[in-house]
Each structure stands twice: as structure tokens, then as C-alpha cells.
Amino acid sequence: MSPVLTWLQCVRCSERFFRNARLYLCPHCGGLLDVQYDLDALRDRVSFERFDERLGGFQPWERSGVWRYKELVAPEADIADLVTRGEGNTMLYDSPSWLVAFTGHKLLQLKHEGENPTGSFKDRGMTSGVTQAKQMGAHAVICASTGNTSASMASYARLSGLQGVVAFPAGKVALGKIAQAVAYGATCLEIDGDFDVAQHLVLQAASQLSIYMLNSVNPYRLEGQKTIMLEMLQQRRWKVPDWVVVPGGNLGNSSAFGKAFIELYALGLIKRMPRIAVVQAEGASPFYHSWKDNFRARQSMKAETIATAIRIGNPTNYDKAIRTIERTGGLVVCVSDQAIMDAKAMIDAAGIGCEPASAASVAGVRQLVEAREIKTHEEVVAVLTGHLLKDPNAVIDYHSGMLAGLVPQYANQIHQIPADFDALAAWVAKPTTPAEP
Ligand SMILES: *Cc1c(COP(=O)(O)O)cnc(C)c1O
Ligand SMILES: [Zn+2]
């Protein structure tokens, strides 16, 4: 028998469980579960050279921006079970001059997770989550979702031959995301209630029916999401930035990033930690309020924000995200919908583009620079979580001034002109809008 490299471990009571046990929470204390590794045994198997070599590999899994780091994602998974679309491999942009002017910060890079196969970072968690479902012999997978999780799960479930069942809150999911779940052939259930209600029902289904749950409480998803940071570091030639700034909804990424840095540090692959800043929307900021209160009490709220992907009132990964903040000397900020949409307009107009929730990270950078929390000489990586086309309505509504209570400060209007050459020529002569800030 080969030695055990991977197990599930409760973050609260530290009890350990078999890696293929179908558990989502600790059966003893109800705590969240981590996938943990025998890092001493893995130390000889991980190296920068090995990760670099795989970039030129010819196996699809070697080329994947998740499975390239297989030793730190699922060291014991069979290669034949890996369900991959070559996810990851997303751009790390140097901030264009527009965003330097907008944020007031030069040393800013953008890691664009909207460039994944289904248009969000959720693919990194789904490739690992659906692979785990296969390892466990599941026939069907289920999730509750603000949209991107269902789009991604629908795709990876079909690719691997599993049934996918998605439950989303009625009327609260962006068009592009529903369209994907329908198109990829998932069983789509629109639930008369908010996300937290949908999630509760799905938890019940997972405990009473024979179906594997892939909500962000699922610890295997976070293992895939860790690779956002691994890939970012590989792109930076393993130079750790001073800050990583990420939007926070269910706090899966926030948790996964912290875990990634803790493991890399323990393995000796990095010599210091970045500070992780989690950015919430004002109308969905329970984690921010807990942080302000020194995490004395867990908070929840009725969530409302235009950034539907982070419209979450009671974040699942609360305990793990606290670990991230504490271990990295991080912090939490919250930004208004106005700040989110203005930042989005600037990211979009820089030619990069993202969905509203993603822009929270750049709005957060701007706020932290203004508050002098981020210093001029510090290197910042902000994560853009989803693709511009996920939420086309938000784009059109912003630029046409249709968003209630919001001022489109950087509007780019569509001009109606007659079918006339001179009318066209007059617009060609004008400078583009919006102007550089
Ligand atoms: C899911 C999602 C988030 C929220 O991420 P968490 O890990 O739940 O905090 C943010 N942005 C986009 C685009 C998402 O799809
Ligand atoms: Zn426990």
C-alpha cells in the first residue's frame, strides 16, 4: 500500500477523515473541512522547474493551469480521471495607463480569471471538484449558484458524462450565466428565494439524495482555485507581490489563496507572504463587518448589490477566510455599487473588460491607495474573477444611464445617426469616450 498523502481535516476540531469520504462538513462539530497533504512527502515532488517543464507538455492535463500543479491540487488522483478543458493559463496584465490613472497606483497587475473556458475562475474549482466526483464514483453533481458556478459545473459535468443539477435564485442571475447552464444541458431549477435559500435546499439534497455537491463548501473546489495564486507566482517568476486583492462573496477564493500561500511557505517555495485584501460590495458585506469587529462575531445580512456574483449574505467559507486574513496580515474593505461600476467602466474601456463583481477588486485597490494603506512602492495583484460578457445587461444599463441610483461617470453612449457619410465622418473626427481619467 502506498502511504496516505491526502486527507480531509476539520478546521475547527482537527479530526481527520478519508479523502474520498462523502463529507462536506465535519460530522463531529459541523466545522468546514480542508483537504490536507503530507507536505513533507510532497516536498521532493514539487519544484519550479517541474512546473515550468509542463508548460511545454503535450498531455492536456500538463497544459492545464490547474493540473500543471497536480501535486498541490490532487496528488493521488488518477490521471485518467482528470476532467480538464485546459483551464487557467490566464493573462497577468500589467496595468494599462488608464488604470494607473484611475487607481493612482503604478505597480498594479491584473490576473484575469474571466479568461477561463466558461468565463470565470469557477472552472479552476470545477475541474478539481468534478474530478473528485469521478474519483468517488458519483453519477450526478449539484450546486446552488449566483450563476458562474452553475455555468462552470454544467460544462464540466457534461464533459465527464455526469448529470449536472443547478439551482439558482429566481431573477437574480446574470443573463450570460443562465444561458450557459441551459446550453450545457444541466437540469436548471429556478428557486423562488435568494441564494442563501437555494443553498440550503441543495445542502439538504446532498445529505438525503445520491448526488455529490459542488457548492463552495466543497473542499475539493478550493484546491483548484489555489492555482490562481500558483500560476500568478509562476508568471512573476515566483516573486511574491506585496498585496493580492480579491472580491469576496462566499469567500472561496479568499480561503483558497490563503491556503496556497501557507502551503507554499511550508514547502519553502516562497520566503514571505503577501497581504490579502478581500473586497466586498457595501450591500453584501457581512465579512467586512465581522472584520471591523475583530471577528468577534459572525455576521450575516440580506444581500443587495449590482455585482450578482458576490450578492451573498452569509458566506460559506467564513472560518477559512479568517485564517487567510490572520495568516497573511490581510484586511477587508467594502466598496459601493457606484465605485464598482465606475471601476468596471475603466477596466472595460482599457480594453480588458470584466463582469461587475470582478471590478470590486480594482475599486478596492483605488480605495486602499487613497487611504495610503497600499504604499507607492508596493506591488499589487488584483484578481478579475469573471468575463465581461457574463453580464451584458449591466454594461448597457450603465452606459445608457438606466441603473437606478447610479451615475454613469464614464459613459460611452451609442450614437444614433442617419445613413449619411458626413454624419459618420463627424464622429470619426471626435476623440473616443470615455476619456482617460
Ligand atoms: C463566485 C464569484 C465571486 C465570488 O467568489 P467567492 O470565492 O465566492 O468569494 C466573485 N466574482 C465572480 C465573477 C464569481 O463568479
Ligand atoms: Zn470538527
Mean pLDDT (the chain) is: 95
How far apart are the CA of 129 and the centre of ligand 2, in A? 22
Q: Evaluate: CB of 358 within 6 angstroms of ligand 1.
A: yes
Of the pLDDT bands very low, low, confident and very high (cuts 50, 70, 90), residue 176 is: confident
Average pLDDT over residues 262-274: 97
| pLDDT-derived band at 145, boundaries 50, 70, 90 | confident
pLDDT tens digits, residue range 48-78?
A: 999 999 999 999 999 999 999 999 999 999 9
Q: Which residues have a Cβ under 8 Å from the Cβ of 135 and sit 6 or more positions away?
A: 20, 74, 77, 78, 81
Please determine, for residue 1, whether its predicted confidence score (pLDDT) is greater than 60.
Answer: no
Residue 291 has pLDDT above 90, yes or no: yes
Alpha carbons 394 and 401: distance in angstroms, whole number:
10
- Residue 180 beta carbon below 6 angstroms from any ligand 1 atom: no
What is the predicted pLDDT for the residue at 436?
A: 74
Q: What is the pLDDT, as a whole number, of residue 435?
A: 73
Distance in Å, CA 36 to ligand 2 centroid: 14
pLDDT-derived band at 170, boundaries 50, 70, 90: confident
248: nearest Cα among 373, 371, 332, 352: 332
Report the run of H or E that residue 95 belongs to, with start and end.
none
**DSSP tally for the chain: helices H, then strands E:** 17, 13
pTM of the model: 0.96
With a 6 Å cutoff on the Cβ, whether 119 touches ligand 1 is: no
Q: Whose atoms come closest to the Cα of 199: which ligand? A: 1
Closest listed ligand to the CA of 195: 1
Residues 298-317: tens digit of each pLDDT: 999 999 999 999 999 999 99
Pairwise CA distance, residues 254 & 248, whole Å: 7
Does the CB atom of residue 325 touch ligand 1 within 6 A? no
pLDDT reading at 172 higher than 90 = no
DSSP 8-class letter at 28: T
The whole-number pLDDT of residue 175 equals 84
